[in-house]
Amino acid sequence: MSSLNGNPLTDEPQDPAFVVSLNGSQGSLKGWVVVDSLHDGLAMGGTRMTPGVTQEEVAGLARDMTHKFTLAGLPIGGAKAGIVSDGSDREQTFRTFGRTVKPLLHGGIHLGIDMGVTPADRAVFFDEAGYDPRYRLGAPDMPIDWRTYYEPLIDCTGHGVGVAAITALEARGHQGPARVVVQGFGAVGRAVAHFLEERGHVVVGVADVEGTISASRLPVADLVAITDEFGRIDRSRLPQDVTVSQEQDAWLDVEADLLILAAQKHAINAENAHRVRAGLVVEGGNLSSSGEAKEKVRASGTVLVPGVIANIGGAASAALAVTRVVPFDLSADARKAWVFDWVGDRVRRNTRDLLEIAAAHAGDPLPTLLTARRKDRS
């Protein structure tokens, strides 16, 4: 294994391997690519586009990618890109982004999608960079194109988050249906809600950008049918007998056993952590809780499964292809099942081990688990 910032097999990397400031190539662009670690010259992570994204945020997300791949045992380093934009003039933005990051893409830094970036956006910047993940020097060619491989796996992140939730509920000895609140109803939130409802649990609260919807039982399929691509639920078409609140963080006040965080950065923070009612919190997003909030939640007796364990489906799906681990000779359905099973197995193992460490030792169990996984990879 090679790294530019120490040996992540034996100690935690303190600084990114390198940071690239994006000033635009033949166009206006502001942003960063942070490569936190390299594994045999490879790293990967999503591209986030929001008006307020910062270099610090991108660096934190890149570090989380390193942790995700370490915990999953995948032979690739962590990276992340951030674009400062409100999403206007998307075509020009992503063509400029593609030209700017072209050397990184062709040099082993695979950049995918994250908040504010769609598969269509990714297709634009891949095209502008002349980048095709099927071909990489020193690796076998992928026999199928990226879209054919990746699009059927869109719910894999939600699947992994659901597996983490079920595993943690079982480990805690929870009996019967759990009452679930899902904060964020984008692709991940919707997939988790479906996953848990199918297994007999009850969704009692859902939050989107406009507020919180709650009831003794929310029909997930009905809510999905009236939700747009950005996770916004049409209030004019809501089922009867639901409560609607526009109060900020009202999802924290819904009585629940399980809280799924699947939206913005630091949804739980130092100011609102005391309002968490659920006995179990599972992070379905990136940086869903601040460090201080995690400490407060743990101190209150609530169990929190971090995103670097639960939220690996999308990242792992891509990494399995980039590193050529996935068996491409399988049929499309069998290949999808293989990836979902692989992700589920890793999430289940890491969730169980994390909770066992937490039960035996005070404090944050994640560093101990990361150390054990680094030893596994060495």
CB neighbours (10 Å) of residue 325?
15
pLDDT recorded at residue 361? 87
pLDDT mean over 352-357: 96
Q: For 100-128, what is each residue's pLDDT tens digit?
A: 999 999 999 999 998 889 889 999 999 99
pLDDT mean over 140-146: 94
Q: For 197-235, what is each residue's pLDDT tens digit?
A: 999 999 999 999 999 999 999 999 999 999 998 889 999
Average pLDDT, the chain: 92
Q: Which are the contacts of 154, defined by CB distance < 8 A and separation ≥ 6? A: 187, 191
Q: For 152-176, what is each residue's pLDDT tens digit?
A: 999 999 999 999 999 999 999 999 9
Opening angle at CA 160, ends 156 and 161, nearest 5: 115
Q: For 50-65, what is each residue's pLDDT tens digit?
A: 999 999 999 999 999 9
Instruction: State the Cα–Cα distance between residues 111 and 13, nearest whole angstrom.
Output: 21
Is residue 226 within 8 A of residue 238, CB to CB? The reply is yes
Residue type, 69: F
pLDDT recorded at residue 377? 72
Name the pTM for this structure: 0.91
- Residue % of the chain over a pLDDT of 70: 96
Instruction: State the Cα–Cα distance between residues 179 and 203, nearest whole angstrom.
Output: 6
pLDDT recorded at residue 378? 66
pLDDT recorded at residue 10? 39
Q: In this structure, is the dihedral angle defined by the CA atoms of residues 40, 344, 149 and 101, taken in order, positive or negative?
A: negative
Residue type, 362: A
The closest alpha carbon to 252, from 289, 287, 307, belongs to 289
Residue type, 179: R
Extract the tokens encoding 312. 């690996």
Q: For 239-276, what is each residue's pLDDT tens digit?
A: 889 999 999 899 999 999 999 999 878 999 999 999 99
- What's the chain look like in SS3? CCCCCCCCCCCCCCCCCEEEEECCCCCCCCEEEEECCCECCEEEEEEEEECCCCHHHHHHHHHHHHHHHHHHCCCCEEEEEEEECCCCCHHHHHHHHHHHHHHHHHCCEEEEECCCCCHHHHHHHHHHHCCCCCCCCCCCCCCCCHHHHHHHHCCHHHHHHHHHHHHHHHHCCCCCCCEEEEECCCHHHHHHHHHHHHCCCEEEEEEECCEEEECCCCCHHHHHHCECCCCCECHHHCCCCCEEECCCCHHHHCCCCEEEECCCCCCECCCCHHHCCCCEEEECCCCCECHHHHHHHHHCCCEEECHHHHCCHHHHHHHHHHCCCCCCCCCHHHHHHHHHHHHHHHHHHHHHHHHHHHHHCCCCCHHHHHHHHHHHHC
